[in-house]
Amino acid sequence: MANSTNLKNICSRAFFALALSIAFSTSSFAHEDSMITSRQKVLETLHQYSFHFDGKNLEKFIGLFKEDATWQIFPAGAKKPVVSFSNSNKLKAFVDNRFKGALADRQTRHYITNTIFLELTNDFARTQSSVLLVHKIQGSKQPIVINTGIFLDEFVKDKNGWKFSSHVAN
């Protein structure tokens, strides 16, 4: 009888340990799936930056940014930005002016590659990407490389999804 009780206790403990193991691994898998989904959505937001800017779709481009997002451009080796905004309305006016002025006669292409995640939580991401900027000017046969550099971006997640909170082009 004692052996039967011992066996029941051992089986009961083993079953409990197995149930705990399954519960924790399911929770771990759910967290991992959530992080993979977040990575994909952040990358999608980053790719929409290129798509909407290159398509000169001002409203959709600006919609990728929080209202108080910072947007800066640093030329190679510069310690201070040549362009800096911390307000989406000022950024919108600047980009609209670029679309109608300096970029009016050309098709831009931002090729963003080699993105790495420097930080990723449920509601924040920091990435670094390589970028190649190419212009195809009306009437020219070949596109020309305008710039290459690094994008350092920060994203926050709100009720509408992931948005840029900071964009730095080096």
Tens digit of pLDDT for each residue in 55-71? 999 999 999 999 999 99
Provide the pLDDT for residue 1: 54
Neighbours of 23 (CB within 10 A): 10
Q: Kindly report the pTM of this predicted structure.
A: 0.80
- Tell me how far apart the terminal alpha carbons of the chain are, to the nearest angstrom: 77
Provide the pLDDT for residue 21: 55
At 134-165, the pLDDT tens digits run 999 999 999 999 999 999 999 999 999 999 99
Sketch out the chain's domains with CATH numbers.
40-169 (3.10.450.50)
Provide the pLDDT for residue 35: 87
Provide the pLDDT for residue 80: 95
Residues in the chain, pLDDT under 70: 1-33
CA distance 142 to 163: 34
CA distance 131 to 18: 49
Provide the pLDDT for residue 151: 97
Contact between 149 and 131 under an 8 Å Cβ cutoff? The reply is yes
Q: Given CA atoms 22, 23, 26, 28 in this order, what sign does their dihedral have?
A: negative
